[in-house]
Amino acid sequence: MTRWLSLVAVAVLSVFVFVLWAAPATAQSQVYLEYLGVLSDDPYVADSVTNPYNPYGNPSSPTSIHNPYGPYGSPFGSRSARNPYATDPPKLVAPDGAYLGRLSANPYRADSTSNPYGRYGSRWSPTSIHNPYSRYGSPFSWSAPSIWGSEP
């Protein structure tokens, strides 16, 4: 009888320890993304980062990649597109849902759009915004990729 109770106690304790161990990892693994506009050269597109009259192109907006004091445009921010040492730069996502890399100034990061030898920065890659003949880099493309940054 005592052996059975000790086995039950060990089982309950192990489940309790597992729940405590797994709960913080589950809560921390949730990622929240903040919309930062679309990467377009056309300043007349409503959400374009080149439109200075919207929150995504205005240099004083906290959601702009052009704000040198904001989290996404600072040369020192960990989530900035302009910091070559950023650990979590904004992501580019095409309208069809394809991942197009990170909008980063880091030429050595594998998924950076500034890496000329990487999949997302090469001039010859079909998933690069720098390839003028691809569906994502063509100046005649029907829509621009959107930019997503992670919230703290």
pLDDT of residue 41: 87
Same domain for 36 and 26, yes or no, is: no
pLDDT, tens only, 86-118:
999 999 999 999 999 999 999 999 999 999 999
Q: What Rg, from alpha-carbon coordinates, does the chain have? A: 22
Residue 5: domain span: 1-30
d(CA 52, CA 29): 35
Q: Which DSSP letter does residue 144 get?
A: P
Same domain for 22 and 55, yes or no, is: no
pLDDT of residue 1: 60
pLDDT, tens only, 15-28:
554 444 444 444 44
- Give the strand pairing for 99-102 and 146-150: unpaired
pLDDT, tens only, 46-57:
899 999 999 999
Number of separate domains in the chain: 2
Q: Is residue 82 within 8 Å of 74, Cβ to Cβ?
A: yes
**Average pLDDT rounded to a whole number, residues 69-88:** 94
